[in-house]
Amino acid sequence: MSAPSTGRAFLALLHRDLSLAVRNRGELVNPLVFFLVVVSLFPLGVGPGPNLLGSIAPGVIWVAALLASLLSMERLFRSDFDDGSLEQLLLSPQPLPVLVLAKVLAHWLTSGLPLVLMSPLLGLLLYLPGRAVPALLASLMMGTPILSLIGAIGVALTVGLQRGGILLTLLILPLYVPVLIFATAAVTAAAEGFAYNGQIAILGAGLAAALTLSPLATAAALRIMVQ
Amino acid sequence: MVAEAADAAPLRTRALGCVRGYRRLFESLEITLQPGEVLLVEGANGAGKTSLLRLLCGLALPTEGEVYWHGEPLPRCRLEFQQSLLYLGHTPGVKLELSPRENLRFLAALHGLSVNPQQLDDILDTVGLYGFETVPARALSAGQRRRIALARLWFAEQALWVLDEPFTAIDRAGVARLEARLMEHAARGGMAVLTSHQALQLTPAPRRLAL
């Protein structure tokens, strides 16, 4: 198939998934509310002392973002699987990894990006030092797309299962751990006034790897699961 | 095109067999489909009609045997094959949040077909969805949702149609229009494989395969 047609299909799928997300506002808001609630419960649980909160803020925000992303992951292929759209994607004359990338991009734009934009506010809530906010933004900007891309593989592998939720968590959580470690290390370093570009560079490398490998793995997993 | 040897048939299966769980649905199935032919797959519920259709379009891998498209085994020529394939499954692939027009525009773009708005409205009119173009499919009846998916047959340029129960939930006038469209497709040298529990009025009569 010619390149312009593949590009058109990519844009059409992106556009379709974005309009679907806008029309299902409940699902759109769900992970955001979760993120907000988890983070805002911490001052109540551990006490409002600025020192303690400031030092655990990077970890709290990142763990909450990771769980919120996990929560929204399952809807990536679920409805397409249920209504037969997935079969149409698999049988279209377009390379499947390109279509997978469009779906993951739409998913990240509607679930990951809002988390990134909301995070400075939550940093403020937890007394995160102001100089750590750019690091928080950078780490989330690099890290949440990795979460979406890795999650897509897991979701594709569990899409045909009735209750794939637990299995999905078991499959992808170990792969989320390195992202969590480097991202929180970057934010903590920035809060203490150290350079954090090393950790961000590693996240960038992870993003590049996930961007190239995950669509291929996801496409292969989808073909197996639809059989 | 002249139908000479079975080798020249665009779609051909060799010793196709399918096992589901502990049941053998069918074995050593030899199907050839020539341009202009319509194949009607018949059988009781659970006989393996849907399984066969999924094998023919490469969604599932056969337990034994192979499917050939223009002489090439299927997994190896996937993109060329899918360029000539239109598949309508049990679940029609219609998004309930989107209107018929949005659904069709997406499906056309996905399959690399360009349809202008006027054409799209004409097709929606043909399948009886005129006046419902902008209503979300959620608010439509089962038959109307099915018609959204079937509307693809009117802008399809694909040579091979694989249709799983296309007439489910369609009223009598709709069935007649679909039959006419199928005959038109066959007359232009297109091929179709379909399952149906209804008696169809197709001329020339389709080839039948009983499972």
Within 8 A of B96 by CB-CB distance, chain A residues are 83
Is B72 in the A-facing interface, judged by CB distances under 8 Å? no
Rounded to a whole number of angstroms, the distance from the CA of A155 to the nearest CA of chain B is 19
ipTM of this complex: 0.89
Residue A93 has its nearest CB partner, among B57, B59, B111, at: B111
Report how many domains make up chain B.
1
Structure tokens at A4: 């312009």
Is B85 in the A-facing interface, judged by CB distances under 8 Å? yes
So what's the pLDDT on residue A2? 62
How confident is chain B (211 residues) per 10-residue block, as mean pLDDT?
58 87 86 90 88 89 89 87 90 90 92 87 90 90 91 88 89 90 91 86 82 81
Q: What percent of chain A has pLDDT over 90?
A: 81
The answer to whether position B10 is within a domain reads no
Q: Please give the model's pTM, rounded to 2 decimal places.
A: 0.91
Question: What pLDDT, in 10s, does the model give residues A84-142?
Answer: 999 999 999 999 999 999 999 999 999 999 999 999 999 999 999 999 999 999 999 99
The answer to whether position B58 is within a domain reads no
**Rounded CA gap, A141 and A210, in Å?**
14
**Rounded CA gap, A107 and B115, in Å?**
27
Is B57 in the A-facing interface, judged by CB distances under 8 Å? yes
A96-107 and A197-226 helices, crossing angle to 10°: 120
The answer to whether position B90 is within a domain reads no
The pair phi, psi for residue B33, each rounded to 5°, is: -130, 120
**Rounded CA gap, A24 and A166, in Å?**
24
The answer to whether position B61 is within a domain reads no
Contact B109 A12 (CB under 8 A): yes
Q: Do residues B195 and B164 make contact, with C-beta atoms less than 8 angstroms apart? A: yes
So what's the pLDDT on residue A226? 84
Rounded to a whole number of angstroms, the distance from the CA of B92 to the nearest CA of chain A is 6
Q: Write out the DSSP string of chain A.
A: --HHHHHHHHHHHHHHHHHHHHH-HHHHHHHHHHHHHHHHHHHHHH-S-HHHHHHHHHHHHHHHHHHHHHHHHTHHHHHHHHHTHHHHHHTSSS-HHHHHHHHHHHHIIIIIHHHHHHHHHHHHHTT--GGGHHHHHHHHHHHHHHHHHHHHHHHHHHTTSTT-HHHHHHHHHHHHHHHHHHHHHHHHHHHTT---HHHHHHHHHHHHHHHHHHHHHHHHHHHHHH-
Domain of B101, in residue numbers: 96-152
Rounded to a whole number of angstroms, the distance from the CA of B109 to the nearest CA of chain A is 5
So what's the pLDDT on residue B2? 42
The answer to whether position B74 is within a domain reads no
Residue A93 has its nearest CB partner, among B82, B105, B107, at: B82
**Rounded CA gap, A164 and A219, in Å?**
18
**Rounded CA gap, B27 and B25, in Å?**
7
Best mutation site among B110, B116, B146, B162 for testing chain A: the one with the most A CBs within 10 Å? B110
The answer to whether position B43 is within a domain reads no
CA-to-CA dists, residue B8 to B2, B5, B11, B30, B34, angstroms: 9, 6, 9, 14, 8
So what's the pLDDT on residue A5? 87
Is A87 in the B-facing interface, judged by CB distances under 8 Å? yes
pLDDT digits (tens), chain A, 227 positions:
466 789 999 999 999 999 999 998 888 899 999 999 999 999 999 988 889 999 999 999 999 999 999 988 888 998 899 999 999 999 999 999 999 999 999 999 999 999 999 999 999 999 999 999 999 999 999 999 999 999 999 999 998 888 878 889 999 999 999 999 999 999 999 999 999 999 999 999 999 999 999 999 999 999 998 87
So what's the pLDDT on residue B4? 47
Contact A1 B83 (CB under 8 A): yes
Is A224 in the B-facing interface, judged by CB distances under 8 Å? no
**Distance from the Cα of residue B10 to its chain's centroid:** 16
Q: Which of A26, A29, A16 is nearest to B96 (CA)?
A: A16
Q: Which of residues 13-42 of A touch B (CB under 8 A)?
A: 13, 15-16, 19-20, 23-24
The answer to whether position B124 is within a domain reads yes
The answer to whether position B100 is within a domain reads yes
